[in-house]
């Protein structure tokens, strides 16, 4: 399962957000074994209204959402790359995630101390990014030395040298490796380094409830930085999310409306993470359950079947496939078939977002 992890300075709202994510996941799907694997790792549901619609059409008893792992990574402080604070432990935790949710404090509250004395998203983001870049730098420099030596006897080392010659100067300036325009081959050649600053990032701008609807000047600063990095921003109020998670589902919309906000920030954050990871969803549906399955973009029908069970991939014959919107518009599987909207797809079919699939396979 793919993993996203929270990073950010102390007291920016990371734990509040993490607890809300986990509480919300539990509340959303009582029939699903949500758990906190370790104290700081939770499994969250990817919110998706299509599940209930499909369940309504096929009469499913249960719905099972797609899942992501969410990790609360203990606070990073200035000097972590030199072993300050939780330093190395922190960096080891980030190496294991597939995407980073960088929580930035965009709320003022005199009662909550800011580690650097004031609210300043630009400075905060820079502190974190520099620590991550420094941690990557020593690794990348060592690897570059080694690759240059290898190049004397091994021509294939060239692609690695090229990649690292692009990355090292950026890291030395405190910039993320993500901004170096690597070719696919270059990126592949250094994948085993697990560079922190190559991981995709979402900035979560944590605002007070009053600013949830309109944002504020701090959020604009985060947006400017994210735009420069080609990263996404989600505006969220960790405090509001933790209150929402305590409310019954039926009262949530009203509470959000009273704040002038439409969708829960968590839902957008989880969806944005899902997109960032290059993931998409296909569905299986029947009287027993409707289920969302996670695949990476570009997977073929047999590969998608393999996500359910490796036997399905090995024995794949065909997949009866209908697009979600076509099924919903038709009102039933039988009606969709009558209209010729259900395809019988073979091994080369590339699965599309929202496909509803039924696999035929040999065991
Ligand atoms: P962490 O150190 O980044 O994990 O931060 P915490 O989640 O522990 O939050 C630090 C403090 O800030 C706690 O007292 C939270 O209640 C508070 N806090 C978090 N988010 C908000 C917010 O949106 N508004 C306000 N006023 N306080 C918040």
pLDDT digits (tens, 9 = 90+) for 17-54: 888 887 776 655 544 444 445 667 888 778 788 999 99
Higher pLDDT, 28 or 82: 82
Distance in Å, CA 9 to ligand 1 centroid: 11
> Distance (Å, rounded) from C-alpha 277 to C-alpha 275?
5
For the chain, give the percent of residues with pLDDT over 90: 50
181 is in an annotated binding site: no
3-12, 69-78, 231-240 — which is least confidently predicted? 69-78
- 128-195 folds as DNA polymerase; domain 1 (1.10.150)
Mean pLDDT (the chain, rounded) = 87
83: left (phi over 0), alpha (psi -120 to 50) or beta: left
Closest protein CA for atom 19 of ligand 1: 13
Contact 53, 354 (CB under 8 A): no
355 near 323, Cβ under 8 Å? yes
Task: Write down the CATH number for the domain with range 3-120+198-276.
Answer: 3.40.50.300
Nearest CA to ligand 1 atom 6: 13
C-beta 237 within 6 A of ligand 1: yes
Distance in angstroms (rounded) separating the CA atoms of residues 356 and 106: 41
CATH number among 3.40.980.10, 3.10.20.30, 3.40.190.10, 3.20.20.10, domain 298-361: 3.10.20.30
Tell which atom from ligand 1 comes closest to the C-alpha of 19. Answer: 7
Question: 239 CA to middle of ligand 1, Å?
Answer: 7
Cα(274)–Cα(361) distance, integer angstroms: 29
Over residues 296-319, mean pLDDT:
93
Comparison of pLDDT for 82 and 56, the residue scoring more: 56
Query: Residue 88: is its pLDDT beyond 70?
Result: no
Token code pair at residue 217? 């000047």
Q: Does the annotation list 11 as a binding residue?
A: yes
Cβ–ligand 1 distance for 40 under 6 Å, the answer no
**Amino acid 36: pLDDT:** 47
C-alpha to C-alpha distance for 277 and 4, rounded to whole angstroms:
9
Other beta carbons within 10 Å of 218: 22
Structure tokens at 357: 């699939």
Residue 208, ligand 1, Cβ within 6 A = yes
- Closest to 291 measured CA to CA, from 221, 346, 356: 356
- What pLDDT is recorded for position 256? 84
User: Is any atom of ligand 1 closer than 6 Å to the C-beta of 239?
Assistant: yes
Number of helices (H) and strands (E) in the chain: give both, helices first: 14, 13
221 lines ligand 1 (CB under 6 A): no
- Bridge partners of 235? 205
Q: 16 CA distance to ligand 1 centroid (A)?
A: 6
Closest CA to 82 of 118, 130, 140, 21: 130
- d(CA 106, CA 199) in angstroms, rounded, equals 23
Q: Tell me whether residue 13 is annotated as binding.
A: yes
Least confident interval from 58-72, 246-260, 294-308, 332-346: 246-260
Is pLDDT of 82 > 70? no
Q: Report the pLDDT value the prediction gives residue 35, as an integer from 0 to 100.
A: 46
DSSP lists the bridge partners of residue 296 as: 279
Segments making up each domain of the chain, as ranges: 3-120+198-276, 128-195, 298-361
pLDDT-derived band at 304, boundaries 50, 70, 90: very high
Q: Is 11 in the pocket of ligand 1 (CB under 6 A)?
A: yes
Is 82 or 41 the better-scoring residue by pLDDT? Answer: 41
283-286 CB contacts, 8 Å cutoff, 24+ apart: 283/50, 283/51, 283/54, 283/324, 283/354, 283/355, 283/356, 283/357, 284/308, 284/356, 284/357, 284/358, 285/54, 285/55, 285/57, 285/58, 285/60, 285/356, 286/58, 286/60
Question: Model confidence over 311-325: pLDDT tens digits?
Answer: 999 999 999 999 999
What does the pLDDT average to over 252-271?
80
Task: Indicate which residue's Cα is closest to atom 24 of ligand 1.
Answer: 208
Distance (Å) from CA 77 to ligand 1 centroid: 16
Task: Give me ligand 1 centre to Cα 73, in Å.
Answer: 15
- Provide ipTM, 2 decimals: 0.93
Diameter of the chain measured on Cα atoms: 68
Ligand 1 pocket member 107 (CB < 6 A): yes
pLDDT tens sequence across 104-139: 999 998 888 887 788 999 999 998 898 889 889 989
What does the alpha-carbon distance between residue 189 and residue 179 come to, in Å, rounded to a whole number? 17
Average pLDDT over residues 353-363: 93
**Pair 161, 147: CB distance under 8 Å:** yes
Work out which ligand 1 atom sits closest to the CA atom of 17.
Answer: 7
Q: Is the CB of 302 under 6 A from ligand 1?
A: no
Considering only CA atoms, which of 327, 343, 346, 257 is closest in space to residue 54?
327
**Average pLDDT of the segment spanning 266-290:** 88
- Over residues 159-167, mean pLDDT: 96
């Amino acid at each position: 399962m793919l993993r996203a992890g929270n990073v950010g300075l102390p007291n920016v709202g990371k734990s509040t957000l993490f607890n809300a994510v986990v509480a919300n996941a539990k509340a959303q799907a009582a029939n699903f074994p949500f758990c906190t694997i370790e104290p700081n790792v939770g499994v969250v549901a990817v919110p998706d209204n299509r599940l209930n619609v499909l369940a309504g059409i096929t009469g499913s008893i249960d719905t099972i959402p797609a899942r992501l792992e969410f990790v609360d990574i203990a606070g990073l402080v200035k000097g972590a790359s030199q072993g300050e604070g939780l330093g190395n432990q922190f960096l080891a935790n980030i190496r294991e995630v597939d995407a980073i949710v960088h929580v930035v404090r965009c709320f003022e509250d005199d009662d909550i101390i800011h580690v650097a004395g004031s609210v300043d998203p630009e400075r905060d983001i820079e502190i974190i990014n520099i620590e991550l870049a420094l941690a990557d730098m020593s690794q990348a420099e060592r690897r570059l030395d080694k690759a240059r030596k290898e190049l004397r006897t091994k021509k294939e080392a060239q692609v690695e040298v090229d990649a690292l010659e692009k990355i090292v100067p950026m890291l030395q300036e405190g910039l993320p490796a993500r901004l170096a325009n690597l070719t696919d081959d270059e990126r592949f050649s250094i994948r085993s380094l697990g560079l922190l600053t190559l991981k995709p990032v979402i900035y979560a701008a944590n605002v007070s409830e009053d600013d949830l609807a309109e944002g504020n000047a701090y959020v604009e600063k985060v947006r400017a930085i994210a735009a420069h990095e080609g990263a996404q921003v989600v505006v969220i109020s960790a405090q509001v999310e933790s209150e929402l998670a305590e409310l019954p589902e039926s009262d949530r919309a009203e509470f959000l409306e009273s704040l002038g906000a439409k969708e829960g920030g968590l839902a957008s954050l989880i969806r944005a993470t899902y997109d960032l990871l290059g993931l998409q969803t296909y569905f299986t549906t029947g009287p027993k359950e409707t289920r969302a399955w996670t695949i990476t973009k570009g997977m073929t029908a047999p590969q998608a079947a393999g996500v359910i069970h490796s036997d399905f991939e090995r024995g794949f014959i065909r997949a009866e496939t209908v697009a979600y919107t076509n099924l919903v518009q038709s009102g039933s599987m039988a009606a969709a078939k009558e209209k010729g909207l259900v395809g019988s797809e073979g091994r080369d079919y590339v699965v599309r977002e929202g496909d509803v699939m039924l696999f035929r396979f040999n065991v």
